[in-house]
């Protein structure tokens, strides 16, 4: 099956910039997949999503969405995508219904009428259904500026799905949302995925969100530093280690050196990387210096992620 | 062969319908917003009222008899067109406000031509300006400006010309400036010289050569002259106040409108996408 998103050797350098914002990245996303681009601020996630959604021109490389080239066939790409931008793209002076009507008019879903009452019966029916899903039957005709951040996001998602897009792009959709709104949003998106089988392309800097995806790319400084299923990446990234220390640390260091056990000096003590957790016992059997600290660490994915980002930043 | 042609025609018709729907959608957004913005509704009337009532009225009282034509009517026609031109041009600049509030992302990711988006914006701002024009007309009648049936029709034609060229002028300005603050600082410098050089307040027939040349390179001159050409058509005042035949003005307006619209849209979209 042909991927719904294909990116090959994508490069983007902004005008007057000295470095590439996106530096020769390649990946693909299959239809129906939940895919995430994970990375710290400035990693190149928003640049990548902007190119994929046709709002930014690439410098070089090949990008296809739903089988169409994002430069030569922009209109076709736009017909098949829904986009939730980093900051809400709603007209705050209009009501929720007017924002939806505007979207419907732009996408040619219903003949536009300046007043709700003049819109077609089908449109009104859809509005009624959407209001029920959003649980905002009363607020549908209120100005969006009176809405909470979570309500605005839900309204945007509903709006972006009105034209049944094949791919839904979400650029850091939960930034600025409180934990409750964030959870509600994810459960709603989960329902959408199950019902509509929409491909979801997410950019985020929240590791928890990325862990929910089918496939994941970790970006840093415009490059992909890890790619695969979250479970596999986790497996690859997670390195168990042992922290030991002795009253006489120099003695311990000498002993480890003599016994050819590789180690690193840290603030907490002496760090010894393990291939697996049971290896700790084998190492401890060899050490004769009396120990005052002993800890076996299994880092969280978050620690592993920070580690990968930091080692990439230090050019390791 | 025939079914293929028919299919292509249907696709084309469908595309036109979608683009037209998008233009209307964008245009009516501005009207909806205007009706909720009382300050804009009122401020759109304040300057024309000052210009026509105070400036036109006092000059008519002082120098009107020496000019040989009604100066109040002369200023009324000029200010009527100028306010429409200015209102539409500055309204189009609000696209930058949309960009700042991130709403423009919703517009520019929609599957419609950028020209439709820009034209919809011009149309919307034209409708906003025309709403204010109605108020100016009423004020004109109140201060003693009268017009025949033909002149009333000509006011509609000049209003449309003023709005469309003003909107296209706004786009060409927008395409060359990126920051909201810069636009707000520079825009008055692009509008006010036009008001004084386009003959809004004084006929251009007797002006010094330098000013006459300058007046020829600014768009507002042609819409003001076009409007007056229609308004004074067949009257004795025509030769005193009109520079070019209305058809010549119309041709220049159309040419400027198309160049500003297409070049401005292309530059604006390129600037947004090719960063």
Full 3-state SS string of chain A: CCCCEEEEEEEECCCCCCCCCEEEEEEEECCCCEEEEECCCCCCHHHHHHHHCCCCCCCEEEEEECCEECCCCHHHHHHCEEEECCCCCCCCCCEHHHHHHHHHHHCCCCCCCCCHHHCCHHHHHHHHHHHHHHCCCCHHHCEHHHCCHHHHHHHHHHHHHCCCCCEEEEECCCCCCCHHHHHHHHHHHHHHHHHHCCEEEEEECCHHHHHCCCEEEEEECCEEEEEECHHHHHHHHCCEEEEEEECCHHHHHHHHHHCCCCCEECCCCEEEEECCCCHHHHHHHHCCCCEEEEEEECCCHHHHHHHHHHHHHCCC
More confident residue, A86 or A75: A75
Q: Rounded to a whole number, what is the distance in Å from the CA of A271 to chain B's nearest CA?
A: 46
In tens, the pLDDT along B117-166 reads: 988 999 998 998 888 888 888 888 887 888 888 888 888 888 888 899 99
- For residue B37, the chain A residue with the least C-alpha distance is A93
Q: Do B21 and A83 touch (CB under 8 A)?
A: no
In tens, the pLDDT along A148-166 reads: 887 888 888 888 888 888 9
User: Rounded to an integer, what is the distance from CA B204 to the centroid of its chain?
Assistant: 20
Predicted confidence band at A313 (pLDDT cuts at 50, 70, 90)? low
Whether residue B206 lies inside any domain: the answer is: yes
Mutation target among A112, A161, A167, A171 for the B interface, most CBs of B within 10 A = A112
Predicted confidence band at B2 (pLDDT cuts at 50, 70, 90)? low
Predicted confidence band at B60 (pLDDT cuts at 50, 70, 90)? low
Domain boundaries, chain A: 5-228, 239-298
- For residue A71, the chain B residue with the least C-alpha distance is B273
- Locate B270 and state its tokens: 């390129």
b/e for A222-239, b at 16 or more Cβ within 10 A? Answer: bbbbbeeebeebbeebee
In tens, the pLDDT along B228-264 reads: 998 888 888 888 888 889 999 999 999 999 999 999 8
A83 Cβ under 8 Å from any chain B Cβ: yes
Whether residue B1 lies inside any domain: the answer is: no
Contacts of A114 in chain B (CB under 8 A): 28, 31-32
b/e for A292-316, b at 16 or more Cβ within 10 A? Answer: eeeebbeeebeebbeebbeebeeee
In tens, the pLDDT along A29-49 reads: 999 899 999 888 888 998 999
CA A58, A61, A66, A69 torsion: positive or negative?
positive
B272 Cβ under 8 Å from any chain A Cβ: yes
Name the residue among B23, B24, B32 with its Cα closest to residue A93.
Answer: B32
Q: Are strands A167-171 and A199-204 parallel, antiparallel or unpaired?
A: parallel
Average pLDDT over residues A56-76: 92
Q: What percent of chain A has pLDDT over 90?
A: 27
Instruction: Quote the domain boundaries for residue B231.
Output: 16-59+68-274
Neighbours of A73 (CB within 10 A): 16
Among B22, B24, B32, the residue with its CB nearest the CB of A94 is B32
Predicted confidence band at A316 (pLDDT cuts at 50, 70, 90)? very low
- For residue B117, the chain A residue with the least C-alpha distance is A106
**Into how many domains does chain B fold?**
1
- Locate B8 and state its tokens: 């292509």
B43 Cβ under 8 Å from any chain A Cβ: no
B38 Cβ under 8 Å from any chain A Cβ: no
- Locate B188 and state its tokens: 């008055």
Predicted confidence band at B93 (pLDDT cuts at 50, 70, 90)? confident
Contacts of A83 in chain B (CB under 8 A): 105, 109
In tens, the pLDDT along B26-59 reads: 999 988 888 887 787 777 777 777 777 667 667 6
Contacts of A53 in chain B (CB under 8 A): 109
Q: Do B105 and A78 touch (CB under 8 A)?
A: no
Contacts of A60 in chain B (CB under 8 A): none
A164 Cβ under 8 Å from any chain B Cβ: no
Cα–Cα distance measured from residue A57 to residue A73, given in angstroms and rounded to the nearest whole number: 13
- Locate A232 and state its tokens: 């596999």
- For residue A12, the chain B residue with the least C-alpha distance is B275
Whether residue B4 lies inside any domain: the answer is: no
The dotted CATH code for A239-298 is 3.30.70
Mutation target among A47, A89, A113 for the B interface, most CBs of B within 10 A = A89
B112 Cβ under 8 Å from any chain A Cβ: yes
Average pLDDT over residues B75-96: 86
Question: Mean pLDDT score of chain B, rounded to an integer?
Answer: 84
Q: Do A53 and B18 touch (CB under 8 A)?
A: no
pLDDT at B30: 87
Question: Mean pLDDT score of chain A, rounded to an integer?
Answer: 85
Q: Do B109 and A56 touch (CB under 8 A)?
A: no
- For residue B114, the chain A residue with the least C-alpha distance is A75
Whether residue B10 lies inside any domain: the answer is: no
B29 Cβ under 8 Å from any chain A Cβ: yes
Q: What percent of chain B has pLDDT over 90?
A: 17
More confident residue, A75 or A135: A75
Among A14, A89, A101, the residue with its CB nearest the CB of B102 is A89
Q: Do B109 and A15 touch (CB under 8 A)?
A: no
Q: Rounded to a whole number, what is the distance in Å from the CA of B253 to chain A's nearest CA?
A: 29
Q: Do A91 and B111 touch (CB under 8 A)?
A: no
- Locate B210 and state its tokens: 């330098």
Q: Do A85 and B102 touch (CB under 8 A)?
A: yes
B31 Cβ under 8 Å from any chain A Cβ: yes
Q: DSSP 3-state assignment of B179?
A: coil
Contacts of A54 in chain B (CB under 8 A): 109, 273
- What CATH superfamily classification does A5-228 receive? P-loop containing nucleotide triphosphate hydrolases (3.40.50.300)
Contacts of A112 in chain B (CB under 8 A): 21, 24-25, 28
């Amino acid at each position: 099956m042909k991927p719904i998103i294909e990116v090959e050797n994508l490069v983007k350098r902004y005008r007057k910039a000295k470095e590439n914002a996106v530096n020769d990245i390649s990946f693909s996303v299959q239809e129906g997949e939940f895919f995430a681009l994970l990375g710290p601020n400035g990693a190149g996630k928003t640049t990548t999503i902007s190119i994929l959604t046709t709002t930014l021109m690439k410098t070089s490389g090949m990008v296809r969405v739903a089988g169409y080239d994002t430069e030569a066939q922009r209109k076709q790409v736009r017909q098949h995508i829904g986009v939730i931008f980093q900051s809400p793209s709603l007209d705050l002076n209009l009501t929720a219904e007017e924002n939806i009507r505007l979207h419907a008019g732009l996408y040619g879903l219903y003949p536009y009428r300046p007043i709700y009452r003049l819109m077609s019966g089908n449109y009104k029916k859809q509005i009624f259904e959407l209001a029920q899903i959003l649980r905002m039957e009363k607020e549908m005709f209120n100005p969006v500026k009176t809405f909470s951040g979570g309500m605005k996001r839900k309204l945007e998602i509903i709006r972006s799905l009105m034209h049944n897009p094949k791919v839904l792009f979400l650029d850091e959709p939960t930034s600025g949302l409180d934990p409750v709104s964030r959870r509600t949003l994810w459960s709603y998106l989960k329902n959408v995925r199950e019902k509509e089988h929409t491909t979801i392309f997410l950019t985020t800097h929240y590791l928890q969100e990325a862990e929910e995806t089918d496939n994941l790319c970790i970006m840093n400084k415009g490059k992909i530093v890890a790619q695969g299923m979250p479970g596999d990446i986790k497996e690859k990234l997670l390195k168990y280690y042992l922290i030991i220390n002795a009253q006489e640390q120099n003695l311990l260091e000498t002993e480890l050196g003599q016994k050819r056990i590789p180690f690193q000096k840290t603030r907490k003590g002496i760090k010894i990387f393990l291939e697996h957790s049971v290896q700790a016992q084998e190492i401890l059997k060899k050490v004769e210096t009396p120990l005052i600290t002993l800890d076996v660490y299994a880092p969280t994915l978050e620690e592993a992620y920070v580690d990968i980002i930091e080692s990439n930043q230090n050019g390791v | 062969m025939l079914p293929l042609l028919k299919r292509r025609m249907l696709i084309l018709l469908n595309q036109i319908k979608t683009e037209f729907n998008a233009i209307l959608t964008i245009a009516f957004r501005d009207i909806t917003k205007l009706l909720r913005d009382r300050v804009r509704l009122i401020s759109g009337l304040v300057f024309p009222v000052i210009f026509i009532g105070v400036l036109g009225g006092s000059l008519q009282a002082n120098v009107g008899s020496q000019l040989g034509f009604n100066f109040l009517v002369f200023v009324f026609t000029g200010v009527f067109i100028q306010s429409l031109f200015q209102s539409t041009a500055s309204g189009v600049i609000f696209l930058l406000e949309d960009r700042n509030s991130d709403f423009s992302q919703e517009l520019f990711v929609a599957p419609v031509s950028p020209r439709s988006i820009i034209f919809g914006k011009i149309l919307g701002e034209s409708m906003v300006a025309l709403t204010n024009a109605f108020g100016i007309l009423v004020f004109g009648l109140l201060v003693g400006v009268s017009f025949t049936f033909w002149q009333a029709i000509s006011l509609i034609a000049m209003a449309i010309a003023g709005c469309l060229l003003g909107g296209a002028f706004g786009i060409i300005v927008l395409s060359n400036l990126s920051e909201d603050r810069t636009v707000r600082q520079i825009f008055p410098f692009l509008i006010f010289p036009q008001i004084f050089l386009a003959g809004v307040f004084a006929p251009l027939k007797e002006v010094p050569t330098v000013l006459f040349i300058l007046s020829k390179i600014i768009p507002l001159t042609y819409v003001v002259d076009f409007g007056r050409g229609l308004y004074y058509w067949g009257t004795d005042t025509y030769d005193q106040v009109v520079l070019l035949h209305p058809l010549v003005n119309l041709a220049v307006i159309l040419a400027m409108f198309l160049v500003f619209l297409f070049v401005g849209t292309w530059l604006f979209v390129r600037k947004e996408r090719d960063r």
